[in-house]
Amino acid sequence: MTAQKTKLSKVYYDNEGKWIYRMVSRDEYMRKDQIRSLESGKIPKLVYDSTEKSPYYTDTNCPYFDEKKLIPTKENESSYQQQRVKNRGFRRAIVNSGVPRKDKIYSELNPFYKPLGEYDTTLVFESRFESGNLKRAMLVDDNEYDLLMQSDHNSPGYSQWYYFKISNTRANTRYTFNLSNFYKPESLYNCGMKPLMYSTKKAKNDGVGWSRIGEDIWYYQNWVKRKAMVGFLYTLSFSFELPYDNDEVYFCHSFPYTYRDCKDHLDSIWVDIRKIRKTELWKSLAENSLDLVIVTNFESSDQDIAQREAVIITGRIHPGETNSSFIVEGILDFLVSEIEEAKQLRDKYVFKIIPI
């Protein structure tokens, strides 16, 4: 399921189980941070800030979209499939939601930073798309960037999920990213895990989708104190090279699974009311519907259904737990299938599932 959804190739699986790279020490990174802080001549250059307006916005009313560049999805919907891959990194067909403003996609965002010319190799960052998360990017050295994530809402500053795009890349150039406001003291990045990367040109030319990349990976405590709790924040640092010039490359903590992906999947399996029904529990602060999915044998009598034991499953409790969304999707696909075990489960239980 995951392989089909994210368009991974055999090349990915050949490398996925190895996770071999040179691990640098925590002291080495900390020494580098200390040296950089003493070099007063190097002033960080702000190249992205999702909370501030870009000087290149043309619409003063909306901080995210240029209204002149919004395309209705209702008109020739299939022709915008490739456009969505380019700008949002998604590969599913666009679904008409019935909400006028949401039934549009943008053809182009006005960036926060525009290169000054061909000689300007500064990366252009973007995270203002569904499930995207990058608050700020600063150029601190040659091809080295300090990055900050948006914290989870209604949390004391918890940050783990990142998902952003870069462009204006140069081939065979070594870049270093330092994401410096992680909250957890331990991480799988120190056990061999690598960041996920999706290169638009590599996917088109080589058939390789999301893959794990990076060298000199280390997750370590930095010197920034937490605002709401005792302790310090943590930094993920990694370096990488890209094979193509002027590529559009996405980086992500884990395989992305969006709210739209969830709605598309529910629409695809909600075809037989004898097996599955859904209802709206409530709406989010963004007015998105949060669904409760009920799976059982609805051909039975109301008395039989009332006597069945209930199995309650919730997924995606936190924004970055996209792996749970893949699991819930697999559970739903199984429960509504014609497999004999699934039929027996529907006859015996009532499954109440909250996907997100």
pLDDT for 96 equals 46
98: confidence class by pLDDT, cuts 50, 70, 90: very low
What's the chain's length in residues? 356
- Measuring CA to CA, how many Å separate 268 from each of 82, 203, 262, 265, 336? 21, 26, 10, 5, 11
Q: Which residues contact 233 (CB under 8 A, 6 or more apart)?
A: 180, 181, 182, 183, 221, 222, 224, 225, 226
Domain ranges of the chain: 2-56+111-252, 259-354
DSSP letters for 240-292: E--SSTT--EEEESS----HHHHHHHHHHHTT-TTTEEEEEEEE-TT--EEEE
pLDDT digits (tens, 9 = 90+) for 318-347: 888 899 999 999 999 999 999 999 999 999
pLDDT for 9 equals 37
Q: Which residues of 191-228 are buried (b: 16+ CB within 10 A; e: fewer)?
A: eebbbbbbbbbbbeeeebbbbbbbebbbbbebeeeeee
Torsion angle defined by CA atoms of residues 7, 267, 101 and 127, in that order, rounded to the nearest 10 degrees = -30
| Higher-pLDDT residue of 21, 305 | 305
- Taking the C-alpha atoms of residue 112 and residue 89, their distance in angstroms, rounded to an integer, is 19
CA angle 62, 67, 70 (to 5 degrees): 125
Q: Decide if 22 contacts 217 (C-beta within 8 A).
A: no
| Higher-pLDDT residue of 107, 75 | 107
181: confidence class by pLDDT, cuts 50, 70, 90: very high
DSSP letters for 64-127: S--GGGEEETTSSGGGGHHHHHHHH---SPP---S-TTTTEEES-PPPS---SSTT--PPEEE-
Q: What percent of the chain has pLDDT over 90?
A: 51
Q: Which residues contact 319 (CB under 8 A, 6 or more apart)?
A: 131, 133, 152, 161
pLDDT at 40 over 80: no
Token pair for residue 158? 């918890």
For the domain bounded by 2-56+111-252, which CATH number is listed?
A: 2.60.40.3120
pLDDT for 78 equals 40
- Measuring CA to CA, how many Å separate 313 from each of 136, 172, 292, 297, 327? 36, 46, 10, 17, 11
